[in-house]
């Protein structure tokens, strides 16, 4: 048993669970209203499944849009599969939650960004997590949550 609570990892798990819940609803009921998603993921993640031409074109990361045309959305505990249209060519994709770098729904100014420890330059448990959401006062500009290093709370 660890002597500390790994809040960074727990937050990442909770945020990925939120993405899974949203996608499960979309798979069941479709996209409501003006909702649509921009999902950026690591194309080099070992469990990502995309066409060779897509991984050649996007060798590091790729952003997909789930909006007007998509089919075969299937959601699992580890990730989701979906067929998207690329220039009138339907392509199946499998995106594990662990490969997701950002998840944004611009229709309601909501977004999540996952930083890897390498990107943040910190240990796993200190990786910052950004959350953007609409201001409670109705401010139309997205706000980023303050990222606090967990070192501030260590004794």
Tell whether 54 is covered by a domain: yes
pLDDT score at 114? 86
In a domain, 70, yes or no: yes
Residue 1 domain-assigned? no
3-state secondary structure of 103: strand
Would residue 135 count as lying in a domain?
yes
pLDDT in tens, 29-88: 999 989 999 999 999 999 999 999 999 999 999 999 999 889 999 999 999 999 998 888
Report the alpha-carbon distance of residue 103 to residue 149 in Å, rounded: 22
Residue 128 pLDDT greater than 90, yes or no: no
* 20 assigned to some structural domain: yes
Domain count, the chain: 1
Confidence of residue 155 (pLDDT cuts 50, 70, 90): very low
Closest by CA position to 19, among listed 95, 92, 86:
95
> Which residues span the domain enclosing 146?
7-153
Sequence-separated (6 or more) residues with CB below 8 Å from residue 100: 16, 19, 39, 40, 41, 114
Domain membership of residue 76 (yes or no) is yes
CATH number for the domain harbouring residue 22 = 2.30.30.220
* 3-state SS, one letter per residue, for 131-145: EEECCCCCCCCCEEC
Average pLDDT of the residues of the chain: 79
Rounded CA separation 72/26 (Å): 11
Does this model's pTM top 0.75?
no
């Amino acid at each position: 048993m660890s002597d500390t609570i790994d809040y960074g990892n727990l937050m990442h798990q909770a945020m990925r669970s939120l993405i899974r819940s949203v996608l499960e609803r979309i798979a069941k009921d479709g996209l409501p209203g003006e909702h649509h998603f921009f999902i950026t993921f690591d194309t080099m993640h070992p469990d990502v499944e995309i066409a060779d031409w897509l991984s050649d074109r996007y060798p590091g990361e790729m952003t997909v849009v789930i909006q007007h045309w998509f089919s075969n959305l299937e959601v699992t505990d580890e990730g989701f599969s979906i067929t998207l249209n690329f220039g009138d060519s339907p392509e199946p994709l499998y995106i594990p939650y662990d490969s997701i770098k950002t998840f944004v729904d611009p229709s309601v100014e909501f977004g999540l960004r996952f930083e890897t420890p390498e990107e943040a330059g910190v240990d796993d448990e200190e990786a910052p997590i950004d959350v953007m959401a609409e201001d409670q006062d109705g401010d139309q500009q997205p706000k980023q949550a303050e990222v606090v290093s967990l070192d501030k709370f260590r004794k």
